[in-house]
Amino acid sequence: MLSDGRLTDEGARNLAKVLGFSARPPTSWADTAGRPLSLPEVPTQGLAACLEFIYTGSCAVADEAELIVVLEAAAYLQIRPLVDAAAKAMSAHLSATTALAFWAVAGRQGLSQLTADAVSAAARHFEQIAATPAWLSAPKEMVRVLLASDRLKVADEEAVYSAAVKWLHAQAPPPAEDDALALLRLVRFALLSREFVQETVLNEPLLRTFAGMQMLNNSFFGALHGDSARRRMGVVEKLT
């Protein structure tokens, strides 16, 4: 029935029947006269898990990476109960190593609850995530959402600034100046220590431009005149 990511004609008919199609599979699953039917959109392990779920009501998943494959295979084959089960399992296994990947899957599949859970997990594990290669390749929108969040769990605002700068320097080609500054505006510069600003921020090439210095001046000028920057709700208080 299943071999190397392919279904025999009998298997295709059975799968179509279980999924609620007509007696014939969809036209893309045309009669193969006994030859295996290829489903290139569905990896072998994902298809195997889907078939196991259809016939037994459950399926084994080796790890978080395979969980992604299974969810997307189930979404492609429109097996909603398996999509829901995989999404629930993802929510239960969110961590610093899975939050961004599960967030991306949730976005592709329109899974709002999993998206919300993944964003919350990414905010809780922000510093650990920002120290990984996955952060450097994170989509701009994910980076923007996290840098704007009040719920980042960080030691201080310096960690947020450092993560933003590290992500910007890792992009190829480099973002346009307006785009880079739009991201950096999400840093709450008024919360940075004076020493950090003098030794690090003022020496950052991304900010040593007219537009960059103007942005910093506006930020600090606002703070001097009562526009207090909100502290991140997840800031870890330092012991004194």
Mean pLDDT over 94-105 rounds to: 98
What CATH number should be reported for the domain holding residue 220?
Answer: 1.25.40
Task: Please report whether residue 226 resides in a domain.
Answer: yes
| Residue of 184, 91, 182, 104 whose CA lies nearest to 138 | 104
Task: Please report whether residue 204 resides in a domain.
Answer: yes
Q: How many CB atoms lie within 10 A of CB 192?
A: 21
Indicate if the pLDDT at residue 31 is higher than 60: no
Indicate if the pLDDT at residue 41 is higher than 90: no
Per residue in 213-224, pLDDT (tens digit) is 999 998 887 666
Task: Please report whether residue 219 resides in a domain.
Answer: yes
SS3 of 226, please?
Answer: coil
In percent, how much of the chain has pLDDT > 90? 65
Task: Please report whether residue 74 resides in a domain.
Answer: no
How far is the CA of 60 from the CAs of 44, 50, 57, 85, in angstroms? 14, 10, 11, 12
Range of the domain at 172: 125-240
Task: Please report whether residue 15 resides in a domain.
Answer: no
Task: Please report whether residue 83 resides in a domain.
Answer: no
What is the pLDDT at residue 223?
62
Indicate if the pLDDT at residue 122 is higher than 60: yes
Indicate if the pLDDT at residue 17 is higher than 60: no
| Residue of 34, 25, 66 whose CA lies nearest to 48 | 66
Lookup: tokens for 160: 């947020």
Per residue in 182-218, pLDDT (tens digit) is 999 999 999 999 999 999 999 999 999 999 999 999 8
Number of domains in the chain: 1
| Residue of 26, 225, 197 whose CA lies nearest to 12 | 26
